[in-house]
Structure 1
Amino acid sequence: MKILRILNNNAVVVHHGSREKIVFGPGIGFQKGKNDPVNQKKIEKIFSMEEETPKFEQLLKTLPVEVIETGEEIISCAEGEMHLPLSDHIHISLIDHLAFALERVKQGVTIENKLLHEIKALYQEEYRIGVWAVQKIKTDLGVDLPEAEAGHIALHLHTAKLQTGSMEKTMQRTSLIQELIQLVENSGGLELAEHSMSYHRLVVHLNFALSRAEDGKGFDDMDPEMLTLIQTKYEKAYAAACELADHVKQEAGLPLPVPEIGYIALHIQRILSNQSLS
C-alpha cells in the first residue's frame, strides 16, 4: 500500500485494491511523500466514500487537525458503544457539523435544537454519546458547547447507522412526533414533562407506530370488545388518538389502522388519568 497524496499528518490517500481510499492514523503522513509505503501499524481506519471522497479530502486540508482528531475519536467511540459500524459519510457530516458548531459558539451565535426533548426519548443511546462528546470537546478543544449540541450529534449518529435512512428522514420523523405530542397536549389541556414516564412511553410508542405504518405492519390484533370499550369508556382519549391518526395521514401519508389508534388511545388515557390524580 503506497501513498498517492498526503492530506495531513494523520491522513493519506492510497491505492487499495481497485480504488483510491483514505487511510487515517496518528502520524501516518508525517514526513512522508508520494509512493512511500504506508506504515501498517499506524492505520486506524480505511474507508472509501466514492463520490464523497473529494469533500472529505477538502475537510482534512482546511479544518484544524485537532477538530478532525476529536471528531474521529467521537465516531470511534460511538461505533464501540453501539456495537455496529457507522456509514462512511459520518466522517464528513459529523466533522463538518462540529467545525461549524465550534465556529458559531466562538462567534457568540446561539445554537438551538427545538427537537431536543424528542431526541432524548427516541435516541437515548445516541444522545448519551452526544453528551459525552460535548464534554470531550470541552476537554480537548476548550469550547463549551450547549446541551442542544448533544442532540445534534445524536441525530448524526442515528442517521449514520446503516440502513436507517437520511438525516432528512430522521428529522422529519422526529419533527412529526413532536407535532403529535403537541396535539396530545392541546387536546388534553396539559403539558407533558419531558422526563416523565408517560412522555417517554408515548414518544416511543408513536415512533414504533410510525415505523409499523411505513412497513405496512400496523397492529391489527386488538380484541374487538376491548376496542369498543376504549372507544366508549375513553371517548376523549380515543378522539385525540383519531386526531393524531388524521395528522399522520395528512402529513406523512401513512394510514394508521383502527387497532393501532386504540393502543395510542390507551397511552393518552394513562396520561389523562395521571393528570387527574395529580
Structure 2
Amino acid sequence: MKIIQIINNNVALVKKGGHEVFIVSKGIGFRKKKGQQVSEDEIEKMYILDSYEMLEHFSYLLSKSDSNDILLISRIIENAEEKLGIKVSDYLTLTLLDHLEFLLERAEKNQFIASPLIWDIRRFYPRHFELALESLQMIEKEKNLSIPSDEAASIALHFINFWDNKKSDRLLEMQTLSDIVSIIEKHYTFKIDESSTNFMRFSTHLQYFIQRIIKSELAQSEGNISLLYQQISQLYPEAFKAVQKIKIYIKHQFKADISMNEETYLMMHINRLTERIGKTDEI
C-alpha cells in the first residue's frame, strides 16, 4: 500500500486497491514519508469510510487531534466489540473521536453536565453503561483527568446507537432536524453550510436530541444544573435566545417540554457551531 498523506505521528492515508483508507501504525509519521510503501503487518488498525464527506471529516479531525487520541479511541472500540460481541462501523471511530475532543474542551472549562438520561441508560442498557464507564476510566488514565461518571451516559449513547438496529421515524427525524436548523439560521441571520465539518459534528449531537424527543425520552432536570445553566445562558446569550425559540417549536410540535439539562446541552452545541462559522482552521 502506498502512502498518500501522513496525517499525524500514528495515522496515514494510503491507497488500497481503488480506495483511500486510513491506517493506524504507531510512529508512522517518523518512520515513513509520502509515496513510500507500508506493509499490512505494520498496520494496527484500518478504517474504510463509505463516502468522500466522511473521509474529509475524518481527515480533518485527525489532523487537528492529539496523535495519541486515535489510538485511545481504537482501544475503546476494540473493548466494546469484545464485550458486546459485535463488529461496529468505522463511523463509530469518527463520532467517538469527535465526542472525546468536545469532552476535553469542556473538561478544561469544568463544564460537566448531569445527564438527564443516566438513570434510564443504567436501567435499560446496563452493559452499555458499564462499557461506557470503562471507556471513561481509560480516558481519565490517558489524559490524567477526573471526570464525573455522568459523562459515561453520553458515551453509552454512541454504543447503543450502533448496537440497537431499531430506527425511529426517519422522515420525522429529518424534518425536525431541518426545522431546528432553520430556526437557528433565522435567529443568527446566516446560512449554515450543511456540507461543512462543523455542521456534520453539530447534526450528530442534534440527531440524538431529536431521537429522544420522538421517543418521549426527555427527562426532568437534575437539581444541581441551575448554576451551570445560568452561567452558560450568560456566556452565550444568543444561543440562549435561539434555544428559547426551539423550546416553543418542540412544545408546539411534540407537546413536550425541554428540561434545563437539555437546554444547557443545546446552548453549548449551538454556540460551538455558530462561533466557528467561517473558521476552517479550527474545530
Task: Place the TM-score, normalised by the shorter chain, in its bin.
Answer: 0.5 to 0.7
Write the distance in 2 (CA, Å) between the matches of 1:174 and 1:147. 21
Equivalence for 1:144: 146
Other-structure match for 2:15: 15
Contact 1:89 1:160 in 2 (8 A): no
**Residues matched between the structures, number:** 184
Amino acid at match of 2:161: T
Residue aligned with 2:89, SS: coil
2: distance between equivalents of 1:133 and 1:125? 12
Residue in 1 aligned with 2:43?
A: 43
SS in 2 for 1:147: coil
Are the structure 2 counterparts of residues 111 and 56 from structure 1 closer, same or farther at C-alpha, using a change threshold of 3 Å? same
Residues 10 and 68 in structure 2, CA contact (< 8 A), matched pair in contact too? no
Show CA shifts across 1:222-273 (max 9, x none).
Answer: xxxxxxxxxxxxxxxxxxxxxxxxxxxx959xxxxxxxxxxxxxxxxxxxxx
User: How far apart are the structure 2 equivalents of 1:167 and 1:63?
Assistant: 19
- SS class of match (1:143): coil
Match of 1:85 among 67, 84, 87: 87
Structure 2 unmatched ranges of 5 or more: 168-203, 221-252, 256-283
**What is the rounded CA distance, in whole Å, between the counterparts of 1:48 and 1:35 in structure 2?**
20
Matched residue type, 1:99:
E
- Name the CA distance, whole Å, in 1 between partners of 2:117 and 2:210: 10
Percent identity between the two aligned chains: 29
| Aligned equivalent of 2:112 | 110
Instruction: Give the match's secondary structure for 2:88.
Output: coil
Match of 1:130 among 126, 129, 132: 132
Residues 67 and 47 (structure 1 numbering): CA distance in 2 closer, same or farther, change over 3 Å? closer
CA deviations on 1:119-142 (whole Å, 9 max, x unpaired) are 112222211110011111111111
Structure 2 CA distance for aligned equivalents of residues 169 and 56 of structure 1: 19
1:55 is aligned, of 46, 54, 57, to 57
* Alpha-carbon distance between aligned partners in 2 of 1:138 and 1:126, rounded to the nearest angstrom: 18
1:68 is matched with which residue?
70
8 Å Cα contact 2:3/2:15 also seen in 1: yes
User: 1:52/1:162 Cα in 2 relative to 1: closer, same or farther (>3 Å)?
Assistant: farther
Asked if the contact 1:22/1:48 (under 8 Å) is kept, the reply is: yes
- Aligned partners of 2:206 and 2:216: how far apart in 1? 14
1:60-94 CA-to-partner distances (Å, cap 9, x unmatched) read: 11111233322221111111111111122111111
Tell whether 2:24 aligns with 1:24.
Answer: yes
Greater relative contact order, per chain length (Cα 8 Å cut-off, separation 6+) = 2
What TM-score, normalized to structure 1?
0.59
Conservation of the 8 A alpha-carbon contact between 2:112 and 2:151: no
Instruction: Pick closer, same or farther for the CA change 1:110–1:136 going to 2, 3 Å.
Output: same
- Structure 1 62/169 Cα, relative in aligned 2: closer, same or farther at 3 Å? closer
TM-score normalized by structure 2? Answer: 0.58
What corresponds to 1:99 in structure 2? 101
Q: Kindly state the Cα deviation for residue 158 of structure 1 after the two structures are TM-superposed.
A: 1.5
Q: Which residue of 1 aligns with 2:226?
A: none
1:52 alignment partner AA: M
**What does the per-residue CA deviation read over 1:97-118, in whole Å, with 9 as the maximum and x for residues that have no partner?**
1111111011121223111111
Give 1:276's aligned residue.
Answer: none
Shift of 1:168: 6.0
Whose Rg is larger?
A: 1
Structure 1 residue 22 displacement after superposition: 0.8
Letter in 2 for 1:114: P
- Alpha-carbon distance, 1:171 to partner: 4.9
Q: Distance in 2 between matches of 1:147 and 1:6?
A: 36
Letter of the 2:134 counterpart: W
Deviation at 1:24?
1.5
Query: C-alpha displacement at 1:170, in angstroms?
Result: 5.6
